[in-house]
Structures are given as C-alpha cells and as structure tokens.
C-alpha cells in the first residue's frame, strides 16, 4: 500500500487526539478522585453505585426518623421523671399529714402544697415537644388536659389512646409516645379501679383539711398505685430509648460499610491515578515530539 504524506498527517492527528483524550481522562480522574464520572465509564459499576447510593439514602432517612423518635422519647423521659418526683412529694406530704399531732395551720400548709403540685402535674401533662403535645396520642395539636366543667374529676383527658411507631431500620419500629390517660390513670387507663392522679390529690387535700388521719393513711396505698404506674411507664420508655440507641449504632455501622463499598466502586486509587496521569503526560509529550518531526516533512525539505 502506498503511504502518502497526507495519510501520515492524518494518522498523526488521530494519534494526538487519542493521546490528548487519554491525558484528559487521567487528569479528570486525578482531580475528581472518581473512577466513574459518567455511566459509560463502567456500566456494571454504575449500577452498583446507584444501588449503594439508594441504600445510603434509606439509611439517612432511618437516621432522621431515629433522631425524631429520640427527641420525643427523651422529652417524655424527662417529663415522667418530673411527674415521679411530684408524686413522691405527694406521698411524703400524705405521710406527714397522717401524723395526728399536726395543728390546723400545718395541715393548711400541706393542703396548699398539694394544690401547687396538682397544678404542676397538669402543666407536665400538657408538655410539648417541637410544638406538639407529647401525651395526647394522635391528637398532638390538642392540649392533653383541660379543667373539667364540674370539677369532678378535676381534669378531662382531651387526647386519644393512639400510639405512633417510627421505623428506625429495616423491619424495626419503635413506639415513640405514651398517652396521658395511662400516665395519669385518667378514666382508670393506668390502674383500673383506682382514682386518677388529680382526683387522688384532690381527695387527699380534702382529707388533710378535715384532719381525717385514717382516711389520709388509707389513701397512701392509692398514691403508691399511681406512683408505681408512672414508674412502670418510665421503665417502658427507658427500654425504648435503649433499643433506639442500639438501632442508631447499627445505622452508623451500616452507613460506614455502605460508604466504604461506594468509595471502592466509584473512587480511584490516588497513587495509581497519579502514576497514570504522569504516564499519559509522558506519552502525550512523546506524541507531540514525533508529530512535530513528521509534520515538518515535505517534498521541499527532502530535496534540500
């Protein structure tokens, strides 16, 4: 086959184009740190990358869910701890009032403290987190308690008994709320057959003012029943928090594993990328040098 100068020039230009494309690809890999920048770079790898990114998105969503549940349960735990402290104070006052040696002024002081505690407990029942009432079940925009029109019982429950669950990982859901009717034994939801917390405190106050030590002593058992109920609910919430923390750790471990796999799929080895870039630079320089010599050749140069 006859090789003409034009054919040689075309071949040189084609080789230069190929070398420049390879150099550009090496530069992009070294600069971006990514082996796959477009689907055509690695079709199977692109498929794996999409699946891994989808898995990371799911893990991120589970993490957001876990954060919401943790906030809710943490606020609930703190509030229940306060309720327990208030009920322990009610019990202490009941034991103190059962002492027949107290005078009328002392009994009046205890009654006043019981009023304050009842008001404080009502405030705790209407605790909000992120603008939502935590003890109202699904009716989170409605205050948990409202004073009853008759005053007997002292407060009406305005929520419902719904519990909501939050998915924090594949196949794992955690109940993120407790309802106020159970916590405060409203309508006997927590301790069937016993008065609710507020009715119990109201009756205790009346017995204190009457100086009825026998009735006060008898009420201590009912106070203990309500206190035990709140302690049981607090234990349940604590158990959920423990499960949630374990789920968060599992999510963290899974996130690290998937991120590592994604890096192995998409990222380049920096040392290899640097060597490849340097190699392509040398090849390109050599191609330029060879091309300059070949493209200088002409019939005139040859005759000279």
Domains of the chain by residue range: 5-33+268-303, 60-260
* pLDDT for 181 beyond 80: yes
Instruction: Report DSSP letters for 247-267, one per residue.
Output: HHHHHHHHHHHHHHHHHHHHB
Bridge pairing between strands 128-129 and 145-147: unpaired
* pLDDT for 303 beyond 60: no
Mean pLDDT of the chain: 83
CATH of 60-260, picked from 1.10.3720.10, 3.40.640.10, 3.20.20.70, 1.20.1330.10, is 1.20.1330.10
pLDDT digits (tens, 9 = 90+) for 106-122: 999 999 999 999 999 99
Statement: the pTM of the whole predicted model exceeds 0.85: no
* Percentage helix, strand, coil for the chain under 3-state DSSP, each rounded to 5: 70, 5, 20
- Residue closest to 148 by CA, chosen among 188, 111, 202: 202
Mean pLDDT throughout 56-67? 92
- Do residues 127 and 134 touch, judged by C-beta distance below 8 A? yes
Q: What are phi and psi of 6, to 5 degrees?
A: -65, -40
Angle (CA) 146 149 153, round 5°: 75
């Amino acid at each position: 086959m006859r090789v003409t100068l034009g054919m040689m020039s075309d071949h040189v230009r084609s080789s230069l184009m190929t070398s420049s494309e390879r150099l550009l690809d090496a530069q992009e890999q070294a600069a971006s740190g990514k082996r796959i920048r477009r689907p055509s770079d690695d079709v199977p790898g692109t498929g794996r990358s999409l699946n891994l990114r989808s898995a990371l998105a799911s893990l991120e969503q589970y993490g957001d869910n876990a954060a919401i549940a943790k906030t809710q349960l943490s606020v609930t735990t703190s509030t229940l701890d306060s309720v327990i402290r208030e009920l322990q104070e009610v019990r202490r006052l009941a034991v103190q009032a059962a002492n027949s040696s107290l005078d009328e002024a002392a009994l009046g002081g205890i009654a006043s403290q019981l009023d304050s505690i009842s008001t404080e407990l009502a405030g705790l029942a209407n605790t909000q987190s992120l603008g939502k009432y935590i003890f109202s079940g699904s009716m989170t925009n409605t205050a948990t308690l409202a004073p009853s029109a008759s005053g007997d019982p002292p407060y009406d429950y305005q929520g419902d008994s719904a519990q909501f669950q939050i998915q924090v990982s594949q196949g794992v859901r955690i109940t993120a709320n407790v309802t106020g009717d159970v916590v405060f034994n409203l309508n006997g939801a927590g301790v069937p057959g016993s008065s609710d917390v507020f009715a119990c405190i109201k009756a205790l106050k009346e017995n204190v003012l009457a100086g009825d030590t026998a009735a006060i002593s008898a009420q201590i058992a009912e106070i203990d029943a309500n206190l035990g109920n709140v302690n049981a609910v607090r234990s349940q919430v604590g158990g959920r928090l423990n499960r949630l923390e374990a789920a968060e750790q599992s999510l963290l471990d899974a996130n690290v594993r998937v991120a590592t796999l994604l890096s192995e799929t998409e990222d380049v080895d920096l040392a290899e990328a640097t060597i490849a870039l340097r190699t392509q630079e040398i090849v390109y320089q050599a191609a330029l040098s060879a091309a300059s010599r070949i493209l200088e050749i002409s019939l005139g140069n040859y005759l000279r």
